[in-house]
């Protein structure tokens, strides 16, 4: 899939439009910062899950790296 086409922003906008309460984004660890930056631009509530205790207080958008779930 080509980079720079706005896929991340489209998904964020769709989740916001549909009023999704909790969204889980699973990605490569090197992309966590990029996703966090995009979400912050939209003013989204954000939680980066690095350990189990981070799952106790889910936000509207929750980011986790593939390596953390295996």
Q: How far apart are CA 70 and CA 60, in angstroms?
A: 23
Nearest-5° Cα angle at 59, 58 to 61? 115
The reply to whether 26 falls in a domain is yes
Position 33 in a domain: yes
Q: Which domain holds residue 34?
A: 7-69
Q: Is residue 1 part of a domain?
A: no
Does any domain span residue 2? no
pLDDT surpassing 90 at residue 70: no
- pLDDT tens-digit series, residues 11-69: 899 999 999 999 999 999 999 999 999 999 999 999 999 999 999 999 999 999 999 99
Whether this model's pTM surpasses 0.75:
yes
Number of domains, the chain: 1
What's the pLDDT band for 4 if we cut at 50, 70, 90? confident
Per-residue model confidence (pLDDT) at position 5: 85
């Amino acid at each position: 899939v080509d980079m720079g086409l706005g896929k991340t922003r489209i998904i964020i906008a769709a989740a916001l439009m549909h009023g999704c309460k909790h969204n889980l984004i699973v990605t490569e660890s090197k992309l966590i910062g990029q996703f966090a930056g995009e979400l912050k631009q939209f003013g989204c509530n954000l939680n980066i899950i690095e350990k189990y205790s981070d799952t106790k207080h889910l936000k509207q958008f929750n980011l986790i790296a593939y390596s953390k779930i295996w």
